[in-house]
Amino acid sequence: MLSNFRAWYRRRILKNESIPDDIWQQAVTHLRFLRGLDADELERLRENATLFLHAKQISGAHGLIVTDEMHVLIAAQACILILNLDLDYYDGWVEIIVYPGEFIRNYEYVDEDGVVHHAAEAVSGESWLGGPLILSWEDASTTDAEVGYNVVIHEFAHKLDMLNGDANGFPPLHADMSRQAWSEAFSEAYAAFCRRVDADEAMEVDPYAAEDPAEFFAVISEAFFEIPLEVKLHFPRVYEQLALFYRQDPAARWSKS
């Protein structure tokens, strides 16, 4: 009964709150990672984005006015991760705060002597466990094809990672996936990546991925959608696990387009 009601409710939203054709087409044209999606996949993404916008509250900070076009661009990027999953993956929180540009994150850390320090840094995105997701519009509206940069995909990957607690690079896997295979693929790739970063080698993806396993998962998720052929070439075992997790094969789509 509950599933029937949910299906009816979603159909009602899609009928009454559909994204206008011109705004949707602008988003599709702007977002390079949508390359290779067929008509059915694009329509499903549009429906997910519509339902997402109904469920989430997106507000501007520091005087930023979030337009309809901005709403749709954020929603389309957020929903590519769950294209073959379900909007329920984003349950449990509501608010997205968008700053015009980078914003200041204040935090504390303890040094090796046990001394607590207060610090601040400029960041382009942040995700809180059970709380809001924060974005820089300057970064959310642009991508860097060379390193697969996409701050929206990055922060929403963190949200998926947090479905089973603090972000640690090990999101809840599907029943048909192997925890051991995931752990081995990511652990080996992360260790090798960190060694290469320490050696100042040129990297295929953003070196920020070496920060910790959670950031490695988020950064490699960006690249999985933005530069999938590079990820499949240089991180084949990780690519295989991400394809199982997201239930998508962007490299195959790109190869056909």
Confidence (pLDDT) at 5: 76
Q: Which amino acid is at 241?
A: Q
User: What average pLDDT does this structure show over 158-168?
Assistant: 97
Query: Which of the residue ranges 26-40, 59-73, 101-115, 123-137 would you say has the lowest mean pLDDT?
Result: 101-115
Confidence (pLDDT) at 113: 58
- Confidence check: pLDDT of 203 > 70: yes
Domains of the chain: which residue ranges?
2-256
Confidence (pLDDT) at 35: 87
- In CATH terms, 2-256 corresponds, of 3.90.1300.10, 3.30.300.180, 3.90.226.10, 3.40.390.10, to 3.40.390.10
Question: Does this model's pTM top 0.85?
Answer: yes
Euclidean distance between CA atoms 81 and 163, whole angstroms: 14
Higher-scoring residue by pLDDT: 147, 136: 136
Query: Which of the residue ranges 93-102, 140-149, 227-236 would you say has the lowest mean pLDDT?
Result: 140-149
Among the listed residues 186, 191, 185, 159, the one whose alpha carbon sits nearest the alpha carbon of residue 172: 159
User: What average pLDDT does this structure show over 170-192?
Assistant: 98
| Segment 122-128 long-range contacts (CB within 8 Å, at least 24 positions apart) | 124/151, 125/151, 125/152, 125/154, 125/155, 126/155, 127/155, 127/156, 127/158, 127/159, 127/162, 127/167, 128/93
Among the listed residues 42, 37, 28, 75, the one whose alpha carbon sits nearest the alpha carbon of residue 56: 75
**Predicted confidence (pLDDT) per residue in 27-48, tens digit:** 999 999 998 899 999 999 999 9
Confidence (pLDDT) at 112: 65
Share the mean pLDDT of the chain. Answer: 91
Catalogue the E-assigned strands of the chain.
57-60, 95-99, 103-110, 116-123, 125-127, 133-136
User: What average pLDDT does this structure show over 83-94?
Assistant: 96
User: What average pLDDT does this structure show over 51-70?
Assistant: 96
- Confidence check: pLDDT of 149 > 60: yes
Higher-scoring residue by pLDDT: 84, 103: 84
Confidence (pLDDT) at 106: 64
User: Using alpha carbons only, what angle is made at residue 149 by residues 147 and 153, rounded to the nearest 5 degrees?
Assistant: 140
